[in-house]
């Protein structure tokens, strides 16, 4: 049986690009596969940038509530908070001894930080903490501890799984075959999600549509979509941002109807209203669930704690196996 693991950092408000690019594909995979699944909130990973207790709590509840609202079923998966599984961090310490510094030097996040410092004429490691530098090792611990065979990632995160493989192979070559070597699972069918200005949807571009925006906020965001100067009555180019976003929510029949409207010369304002009505209809049920969970943090805590209880037996077994391999033996598990 395949074991699939994915984690999400709690780093702010989720937008529809996050949903269609990562969350929905993972939920669909959960519903269509017989694999064993581990989903976790990567709160310790977020500490490389979030060093505020208030923000950490807020973002953790936001991302956990998001996954639950979007259809994650805790009865089908182990859904846990990274910080609730202490074995991860002991294992990470062990793995640091099998992770060459040269390998970590090439990690994208660290390398980009060094390059930016160099451009500014600063010391190459200015602002770099060990959390950032050792990020790939902690991620390797997340993955290897639960015997993951597949790790869903975007193309930009493929390197993390490659580093995990290198660390696992290094351990196995020195201490005997102990760890399962994972592979990345990349959904090549998920295209880049377009933002309000036609560029990739990103918080850094300030061109996002919040996944759980209120109706008024959703309408306001959609009205900001950049269009060309074609007037009502003029046929529209179907390769436009409104239609690109519309297709994310629509059925094949709805797409066919909207495409006809565009070719018949619908005004951009009316096209935006059609997008709003469809998006709001599809998002409303998830929005209600999100509001329930975000207003009931104790329920979210209960779900995450139960998930950690389900996850820890595997974590303990793997850590015991690893300790035996390195000579730190225990007679009992």
Instruction: State which residues form the domain around 251.
Output: 203-291
Average pLDDT over residues 253-282: 97
Residues 23, 139 share a domain: yes
Average per-residue pLDDT for the chain? 93
Residue spans of alpha helices (H) in 237-296: 241-249, 252-263, 268-294
Q: Range with the lowest mean pLDDT among 10-19, 62-71, 132-141, 311-320? A: 10-19
Q: What is the pLDDT of residue 204?
A: 81
Q: How far apart are CA 66 and CA 290, in angstroms?
A: 6
Q: Can you tell me whether residue 12 is helix, strand or coil?
A: coil
Kindly tell me if the per-residue pLDDT of 327 is higher than 80.
Answer: yes
Instruction: Name every residue whose Cβ is closer than 8 Å to that of residue 210 and which is 6 or more positions away in sequence.
Output: 13, 14, 15, 16, 217, 218, 221
Write out pLDDT tens, residues 216-236.
Answer: 999 999 999 999 999 999 999
In this predicted structure, the answer to whether residue 323 has a pLDDT above a threshold of 70 is: yes
Same domain for 12 and 79, yes or no, is yes
Confidence of residue 192 (pLDDT cuts 50, 70, 90): confident
Residue 206 Ramachandran class (φ > 0 left, ψ -120 to 50 alpha, else beta): left
Same-domain status, 139 and 235 = no
CATH number of the domain where residue 139 is located:
3.40.50.620
Please report whether residue 105 resides in a domain: yes
What average pLDDT does range 16-44 have in this prediction?
Answer: 92
Identify whether residues 165 and 306 lie together within a single domain: yes
| pLDDT value of position 49 | 87
Total count of domains within the chain: 2
Considering only residues 157 and 85, tell me which one the structure prediction assigns the higher pLDDT. Answer: 85
Domain check: are 57 and 142 in the same one? Answer: yes
- One domain, residues 70 and 138: yes
Residue 333 is assigned to a structural domain of this protein: no
Same domain for 184 and 278, yes or no, is no
Q: Looking at the predicted structure, is the pLDDT value of residue 333 above 70?
A: no
Residues 134 and 19 in one domain: yes
Look up the pTM and report it.
Answer: 0.91
Residue 331 located in a structural domain? no
Confidence (pLDDT) at 188 = 67
The yes-or-no verdict on residue 318 having pLDDT over 70 is yes
Examine the domain organization and report whether 112 and 224 are in the same domain. no
pLDDT of the residue at 156: 73
* Residue among 223, 332, 213 at smallest CA distance from 283: 213
Residue partners of 96: CB distance under 8 A and separation at least 6:
134, 137
Show the beta-strand stretches assigned E in the chain: 3-8, 36-41, 78-81, 150-152, 183-185
Rounded to whole angstroms, the Cα distance separating 159 from 223 reads 38
């Amino acid at each position: 049986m395949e074991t699939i693991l994915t984690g999400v950092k709690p780093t702010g408000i989720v937008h529809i690009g996050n949903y269609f690019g990562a969350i929905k594909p993972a939920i669909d995979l959960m519903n269509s596969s017989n694999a064993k699944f581990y989903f976790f909130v990567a709160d310790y990973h977020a500490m490389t940038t979030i060093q505020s207790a208030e923000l950490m709590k807020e973002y953790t509840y936001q991302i956990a509530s998001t996954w639950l609202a979007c259809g994650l079923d805790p009865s089908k998966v182990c859904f846990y908070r990274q910080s609730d599984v202490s074995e991860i961090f002991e294992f990470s310490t062990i793995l640091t001894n099998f992770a060459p510094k040269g390998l970590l030097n090439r990690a994208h996040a660290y390398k980009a930080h060094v390059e930016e410092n160099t451009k500014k004429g600063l010391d190459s490691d200015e602002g770099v903490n060990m959390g950032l530098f050792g990020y790939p090792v902690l991620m390797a611990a997340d993955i290897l501890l639960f015997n993951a065979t597949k790790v869903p990632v975007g193309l930009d995160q493929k390197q993390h799984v490659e580093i995990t493989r290198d660390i696992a192979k290094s351990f196995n070559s020195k201490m005997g075959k102990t760890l399962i070597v994972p592979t990345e699972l990349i959904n090549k069918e998920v295209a880049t999600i377009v933002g309000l200005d036609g560029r990739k949807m990103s918080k850094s571009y300030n061109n996002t549509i919040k996944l759980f925006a209120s109706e008024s906020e959703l309408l306001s965001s959609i009205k900001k979509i950049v269009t060309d100067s074609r007037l009502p009555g003029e046929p529209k180019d179907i390769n436009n941002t409104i239609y690109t976003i519309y297709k994310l929510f629509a059925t094949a029949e709805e797409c066919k109807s909207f495409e006809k409207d565009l070719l018949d010369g619908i005004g951009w304002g009316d096209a935006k209203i059609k997008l709003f009505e469809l998006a709001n209809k599809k998002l409303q049920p998830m929005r209600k669930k999100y509001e329930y969970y975000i207003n009931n943090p104790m329920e979210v805590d209960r779900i995450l704690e139960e998930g950690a209880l389900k996850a820890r037996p595997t974590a303990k077994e793997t850590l015991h196996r690893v300790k035996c391999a390195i000579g730190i033996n225990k007679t009992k598990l």
